[in-house]
Amino acid sequence: MTTLHATIPDDLHRELLAQAERERISADELVSRALRASVTLPLLRLSMQDRAGRGNWDDFDRIMTRVPDSPPVPGDEL
């Protein structure tokens, strides 16, 4: 593990502590999760964009023809 020291505004610190208490985790864990999401989500988006670029609309249409044309189950309506 590495220790990181940061200076943050007092109001953000209060919000951080309150959120950590609501989630019943330490403030350190909450900050660690937020940093992980901040770093990994852009990488995940790039990976998804790369995969989407390799997609094939003909394959998509072929697969979608297998989906039944019926109303959604109760609770899944828009």
Token code pair at residue 68: 């039944």
Instruction: Provide the 10 A C-beta neighbour count for residue 27.
Output: 14
- Percent pLDDT > 90 in the chain is 56
Containing H/E element for 61?
helix 57-64
Residue 29, pLDDT above cutoff 80: yes
Name the pTM for this structure: 0.55
The number of residues in the chain equals 78
Domain boundaries, the chain: 16-64
Q: How confident is the model at residue 1 (pLDDT cuts 50, 70, 90)?
A: confident
Please check the confidence at residue 21 and state whether its pLDDT lies above 90.
yes
pLDDT confidence of residue 41: 79
In the structure encoding, which two tokens stand for residue 37, read together?
Answer: 């999401």
Q: Is 49 helix (H, G, I), strand (E, B) or coil?
A: helix
